[in-house]
Amino acid sequence: MSYFADTPPPGAAQPRFLGAALYDDPSNGYRDSFASQNTQNTFRTAPSVVTSSVYALNNDTPQAEQSAAYHDDPNDPEYNSGSGQGGNSNSPRYLAEKRSAYAIPRVKSKRGLIIAGSILAAVIVLVAIVVPIYLVVLKPKSSSNNSSGSPSSPTSTSTSSSGQPASDVVTGGNGSTITMEDGTTFTYLNPFGGTWYWDPQNPFNNNAQAQSWTLPLNQTFRFGIDKIFGVNLGGWLTTEPVSYAPALYQKYPTAIDEWTLSEAMAADTSPGGGLSQLETHYQTFITEQDFAEIAGAGLNFVRIPLPYWAIEVRSGEPFLPKTSWTYFLKAIQWARKYGIRINLDFHALPGSQNGWNHSGKFGSINVLYGPMGIANAQRSLDYIRILAEFISQPEYQNVVTIFGITNEPQGTPIGQDALSRYYMQAYNNVREASGIGAGNGPFISYHDGFLGLPQWAGWLPNADRAALDNHPYMCFETQSSAPMSSYAQTPCSAWGATMNTSMNAFGFTAAGEFSNAVTDCGLYLNGVGLGTRYEGTYTPGTWPVMGSCTPWTDWQSWNSTMKSSIEQFALASMDALQNWFFWTWKIGNSSTSGVVESPQWSYQLGLQNGWMPADPRVASGTCANQGIWSPPLQAWQTGGAGAGQIAAAVTSSYSWPPAQISNAGAVSLLPSYTPTGTVATLPPPTFTYSSAHAVKTASAGNGWENPSDTASGMVGIASCSYLNPWVGTAAPPSPLCSSGAAARAVPAPLITPVPRHQS
């Protein structure tokens, strides 16, 4: 069944249109409005009509949202010079700014109307001159929670910039033309009332709105009330074989992860070789057009995996350093332009938190596990702090609203106690950067470590804006030859109750990854050269043969029954999970077959070929009688009253570091770092614009939100010995340190003071 943009599916919330009063009281009639032609946006957002002269004139505060009065009424006394109220010194700033630029129109008399008839031609000419000036000169003001709305002095050293002329169109809706950085154009297709917004003279404006039912970026996303419909941008800034095989991994048969891929590229001195191939991948795999298409698909979030080498590398690490950060900045710019929010996921940690190829190096776990487990964790916590300082700046916090601090740590070998202490210290690092309470930095997302959601019930009560992340996949365990149609309600029974229970027992819970796959068929899905369980070729282990993978990967031969069965599975998954991020937005073509060979993992391919819903809202109600959790979350869970007031007994029970590290022993006997190094600061983008015949640079922050956060970075002790960060199982060095250094080898258990509070 298909739905038009103005017809929400059964069970979905009504969009909040401009004429909200008509929904509250159907007896109300239509009323005059400066923006009465707008029927797709809330009364506080930029309109979807490109030629509208009204942009963000209303105060962006919770009080304004709850007010029963409209603020764009031409009959309002504030707009009437004869009312005696137009000059009220208490008038809101947004009205004062409008009046400062435009004279208040006079009240016309009957005589004036008669005279107007004789000078109609002159009036038409005057309008033809004034209106274009009005539309070009009048720019929307940044919302009250965007302190960087006015460009100021240069602060940036990065290479991202904009040379777009100030006269360019800055906003548009469905059917408008987008011109990208390289000059190419495409048509913005968004049937859901979404509006893009990009003004080079005000690059941190947050007026864009992904869809009519998703709040624009200049309003706070209501976790627990508003639904996350998201996709991962997998394989982009953290590569892995399954997501972008053709241009990267298939070219180098020895490459099984980004470590070996980087080594192979660096050794390739032929034309087209070298590590620069990775930047070409960053430039081409995901572009601005992908963000536009994501908004047009009814999605409102992206989860972006980012590796530690976006910040720095150390000796012996072959990764291309810092370059992916430049493209993450582009992602922020594009997400802002199309009204999409970002979940930044710290995906690959030094030493590897899980030993899988998408952590950077396939093999062993070396974070919180093994002889380098504490040192790698210390280094990872530094990187979490650096990322938190950047994204908590006011220029970015309305776009990057979730921070996943570690992707898929292996909780069972690591142990929940050590993982919980690490999570507690990460919480302290993030909140030290951001401050406490709504409007100060992101939600902090914790992966469940594959321990299961119930294991985290009641963990860290009163933590400020903590979220739990679960990755429910059906394809990596026992295989079945059952047809796709047999899985129609499986996600409902497998996941629905668990997710709903966790919303009560822990707080906000989302699925950071899931897919349409019910078998492990797909090119490099398990890794390079590891085979598949379905065909009985997977190593390690012995797996019974279920059949050939061809029917599951040859999507060009799928009939309508297969496609509708996959779509039904997708809808059931979306409804069961409620807040979700599909893995992944796109899969690259195989360089041998020329087509995607893991089709059940590509949201984009499913949209293009009819097995993904064009509107994710239609999923509502797919799972019958699942007892969906009822909002809202508790106030402290969303940064309200009580947020951050964690009991001292709780924080002391999770003091850092742990006394023991699995597969290594006492922390005091293991290599560790000391806080005497220089902390990296991530560079902001550069945005230049022309003003009064001069080229200026907009203020983009300095990369560090909390100037009081002055602790040094974790580095090695010159008189101590260290193992390779990816060493795996080994005995620690002996002696660990020379005389006088051992006492500094591991810090005493630390109970971090309560992070700073902000209002």
Angle 468-472-478 from CA coordinates, rounded to 5°:
145
Are the C-beta atoms of 194 and 362 separated by less than 8 Å?
no
Nearest to 606 by CA among 568, 563, 553, 550: 563
Question: What is the SS3 assignment for 182?
Answer: coil
Clarify whether 408 is annotated catalytic. Answer: yes
Signed CA dihedral, 204, 209, 214, 216: sign only: positive
Q: Which of 258, 288, 389, 408 is catalytic?
A: 408
Could you tell me the two tokens for 499?
A: 């997710």
Taking the C-alpha atoms of residue 380 and residue 429, their distance in angstroms, rounded to an integer, is: 11
Taking the C-alpha atoms of residue 373 and residue 389, their distance in angstroms, rounded to an integer, is: 24
Taking the C-alpha atoms of residue 473 and residue 230, their distance in angstroms, rounded to an integer, is: 16
Are the C-beta atoms of 194 and 295 separated by less than 8 Å?
yes
Please enumerate in sequence order all residues whose Cβ is within 8 A of that of 37, keeping only pairs 6 or more positions apart, or say none.
Answer: 47, 49, 52
Please enumerate in sequence order all residues whose Cβ is within 8 A of that of 538, keeping only pairs 6 or more positions apart, or say none.
Answer: 520, 526, 530, 531, 532
Are the C-beta atoms of 426 and 447 separated by less than 8 Å?
no
Alpha helix locations (H) across 601-667?
603-609, 648-653
Are the C-beta atoms of 329 and 158 separated by less than 8 Å?
yes
Q: Which of 513, 567, 597, 705 is catalytic?
A: 513
Give Cα 306 distance to the centre of its chain.
11
DSSP state of 183: S
Q: How many CB atoms lie within 10 A of CB 28?
A: 12
Taking the C-alpha atoms of residue 368 and residue 376, their distance in angstroms, rounded to an integer, is: 7
DSSP state of 669: G
Are the C-beta atoms of 689 and 151 separated by less than 8 Å?
yes
The b/e string for 538-548 (b: 16+ C-beta within 10 A; e otherwise) is: beeeebeebee
Are the C-beta atoms of 540 and 550 separated by less than 8 Å?
no
Taking the C-alpha atoms of residue 712 and residue 703, their distance in angstroms, rounded to an integer, is: 16
- Active site members: 408, 513
